[in-house]
Amino acid sequence: MIRTYAFNGYIQEAQNLFNKTPNPDVCTWNIILKGFIEHGALNVAHKTFERMPCHNIVSWTAMIAALAHNGCCQEALQLFYCMYAHGFIADKVTYMRALDACSSYCTLIQGQQIHASIVEDGLAEDNMVGTSLISMYGKCGNLADATCVFSRTKKDIICWTAQISACAQNAYYEEALILFSEMLKAGLNPDILTFVCALDACSSLLLLSEGRQMHAAIVAYGLEQHCLTGTALVKYYGKCRMLLDVRSVFSAIAHCDIASWNALLTVLVESEFNRDALYLFWQMHVQYVKADNISYICVLNACSKLSAREKGLEVHMAWIEHRMDGDAKIANALINFYGKCGDLCSAHHVFYALTYRDVVSWNTLISVYLSNFLAKEALILLQDMLWTGIQADNVTFIYAFDACSALADLMMGHQIHTSFVEHGTVVDPMIQSALLKMYGKCKSIHDAIYIFGKMEETDVILWTILIGAHNDGGFSEEALNLFNKMQLKGIQPDSTAYVCVLDACANLAALQSGCKLHDAIQEKGWGNEPIVGSALIHMYGNSGDIEKAESVFRGLAEPNLAIWNAIIAGFAYNGHGKKTFIYFNEMLRTGVKPDEISFVSILTACSHAGWINHGKHCFIHMMYGYKLQHVEEHCVCIVDMLGRAGRLEEAEQIIQHLSLQNVSTAWLSLIGACRYHNDQACAWRAAKNLSKLGNHNSGPLLILAGIFAGR
């Protein structure tokens, strides 16, 4: 009767009846123990196990399996060894459950020890045990031992699937598909899990034809409505960016579980369909699908990308309302969301509410500071992290190098690079990229070349960073040479590489080289990419061919802010004041809001055209109408505009009243205007102010000497 109650979910009734049983035997204890386990009451099951007057192999196996299934893998393995200490000999089921714990815990050494015990007990030839060993070695990253076990095991469909999965998990995708093909030749029919593993390999390799064939086979076997195969197809088509197919296969799933919904959410967010992801998340609530932590992380990432603070707050409130278990990954997603929305206060609140802050949480907060242009504060936060005893990982160092890049702080960059070397961490391509960028932004070309030369393998990304470093350092001609050298090495440029080299042409006003690059871009079909279009407009504008720049602009569908800024700047710097404002107003009509860069071009146009009142009005409207922060470039434009008109004292007052940290370029511009208008007094005051900023450039002194000499 206890068994009937327990296995039908009436756990309380089973317990009441058990409590009334005088001197229950071990079998009765095992029934109530399994009842608690099936009911999900792990803590109660554990206490019951400890209360048992005696155990048998069934008791030990049930408890080990329960702990492993609930993620308590270390406790499961401790219990396994405890069982041996009590004189019990494991059977094949016990070994399989212990191997499950090793798989989830990724503890290879303990897995190998258990394998040795299996061999000693003569169970190595057992098919089910062999399959568990293959799975364990696959999940622990030891494909060689998995293959060795596979070669000695009788191969049924479960065994084949375990080996295919082991290959896919360890990024041996081609081998996984070869095994799948061999399995079919051996006359075995794939099951649901086999298809899932094979689809994972297809999606990782972005194999469209093979994936389509796999889909057709799934339909032929009548498995397209199954939750697992349907979810695998959603992931596959998502990786291949085939959104129509994604929606089609999702709709075909008979009963979607939370994993299916999460797969679709992930695809939408990764494909930048963030508003669709938000809509889907709320649809889940309407259809009474209980979101889990993965769902919340996905939708918070969507809100982050949209900077949708109000929507994100609703999601945060929903998470609290549903009393989801605290999860560090959720907290990190919330920190990232609030940070991307510029709400550092809330990001801090979530961060410091964590009971334990690991390196991932610290990295998330540091990245938030960087995304809010607070590089100096990000480095201070890094120091705080180290003081708490948390060891930096590669991601931390990447963010540290990015902070040094933003600050162009070469000394700090060298210190952190030295610390990284002393740390003894393995250098990966991401670290190499970050180092190259940092030395490039710090204009330390020798360091950048040294880092590049130490690399065993270089790809188009690393070459592009080196080209960009030369460009940023003022070595645009060398950047062009590097671009040609890269192609001679057999590395084909991507669209980002073309953008870098177009910037080099823009700096050199190398119209002929730029035109050749444009032809190559057209051949590759990248001309309509926004970032490429923007670079082409910039190159033609800087090279003086404004008509060609306008032609490129007109060929782009739905130009973004960067494209609008490029064409507006082109007209402004080529002295076409009226056209500058025509395009600026056209941009506003399309609903694109200007940024600080837009107004640098507008003020430049006003300066070149002598539209002083109009320029001052635009400057005021930028600050109070659009709530944009003025930067040194705006100040230089205003000073240049007033200086050209001889209104030097007004220009001087503008510099003094604008709260800017660095105004050295503005003072230099004023000194140049003083020379043109031969105003010795104003030039002297400007030079004194410049010297207070610690500017040791001899140029201003030479100009000043020229003014006093009457030249």
| Tens-digit pLDDT profile for residues 438-460 | 998 898 999 999 989 888 888 89
Judge contact between 517 and 510, C-beta under 8 A.
Answer: no
Mean predicted confidence (pLDDT) in 243-271: 93
Mean predicted confidence (pLDDT) in 643-672: 78
Give yes or no for residue 638 having a pLDDT over 60: yes
DSSP state of 70: T
Q: Is 588 helix (H, G, I), strand (E, B) or coil?
A: helix
Q: Over pLDDT 90: what percentage of the chain?
A: 52
Rounded CA-CA distance 225/242 in Å is 19
Give yes or no for residue 322 having a pLDDT over 60: yes
Quick one: pLDDT at residue 58? 84
Judge contact between 64 and 79, C-beta under 8 A.
Answer: yes
Per-residue pLDDT tens digits for 279-320: 999 999 888 888 888 999 999 999 998 888 899 898 898 888
DSSP conformation letters of 283-351: HHHHTT----HHHHHHHHHHHHHHT-HHHHHHHHHHHHHTTPPP-HHHHHHHHHHHHHTT-HHHHHHHH
Quick one: pLDDT at residue 703? 54
Give yes or no for residue 35 having a pLDDT over 60: yes
Q: How many residues does the chain have?
A: 711
Give yes or no for residue 361 having a pLDDT over 90: yes
DSSP conformation letters of 422-452: HHTPPP-HHHHHHHHHHHHHTT-HHHHHHHH
| 189 C-beta neighbours (distance < 10 Å), count | 10
Quick one: pLDDT at residue 68? 82
Per-residue pLDDT tens digits for 379-408: 999 999 999 999 999 999 999 999 999 998
Domain ranges for the chain, please list them. Answer: 630-711
Q: SS3 string of 663-708?
A: CHHHHHHHHHHHHHHCCHHHHHHHHHHHHHCCCCCCHHHHHHHHHH
Rounded CA-CA distance 189/573 in Å is 69
DSSP state of 529: S
Per-residue pLDDT tens digits for 526-556: 888 889 999 999 999 999 999 999 999 999 8
Residue whose structure tokens are 């931390």: 396
Which CA distances in Å does 224 have to 252, 267, 277, 287, 540?
7, 19, 23, 22, 53
Q: Which candidate, 437, 385, 451, places its Cα nearest to that of 406?
A: 437
Q: Which range, of 145-149, 338-342, 538-542, 702-706, averages the lowest pLDDT?
A: 702-706
Give yes or no for residue 4 having a pLDDT over 70: no
Which CA distances in Å does 100 have to 66, 90, 130, 133, 140?
11, 14, 12, 9, 11
Give yes or no for residue 368 having a pLDDT over 80: yes
Long-range pairs for 195-199: beta carbons < 8 A, 24 or more residues apart: 195/221, 195/223, 195/229, 195/232, 196/228, 196/229, 196/232, 197/161, 197/164, 197/165, 197/168, 198/164, 199/229, 199/232, 199/233, 199/235, 199/236
Contacts of 69 (CB under 8 A, 6+ apart): 100
Average per-residue pLDDT for the chain: 87
Quick one: pLDDT at residue 624? 85
Per-residue pLDDT tens digits for 478-534: 999 999 999 999 999 999 999 999 999 999 999 999 999 999 999 988 888 889 999
Contacts of 656 (CB under 8 A, 6+ apart): 689
Rounded CA-CA distance 264/232 in Å is 10
- Which structure tokens are listed for 308? 């949708």
Quick one: pLDDT at residue 6? 47
Contacts of 83 (CB under 8 A, 6+ apart): 60, 64, 90, 94
Q: Which range, of 225-239, 246-260, 430-444, 655-669, averages the lowest pLDDT?
A: 655-669
Mean predicted confidence (pLDDT) in 654-667: 73
Rounded CA-CA distance 63/703 in Å is 86
The larger pLDDT score, comparing residue 33 to residue 151, is at 151
Helices H / strands E in the chain, number of each: 43, 0
Max mean pLDDT range (32-41, 57-66, 569-578, 674-683) = 569-578
Mean predicted confidence (pLDDT) in 255-276: 93
Quick one: pLDDT at residue 5? 43
Per-residue pLDDT tens digits for 114-170: 899 899 989 988 999 999 999 999 999 999 999 999 999 999 999 999 999 999 999
Give yes or no for residue 711 having a pLDDT over 70: no
Per-residue pLDDT tens digits for 183-233: 999 999 999 999 999 999 999 998 989 999 999 999 999 999 999 999 999
Per-residue pLDDT tens digits for 589-617: 999 999 999 999 998 998 888 898 898 89
C-alpha dihedral, 543 to 544 to 549 to 550, nearest 10°: 170
Q: Is 459 helix (H, G, I), strand (E, B) or coil?
A: coil
Rounded CA-CA distance 137/254 in Å is 34
Mean predicted confidence (pLDDT) in 88-107: 87
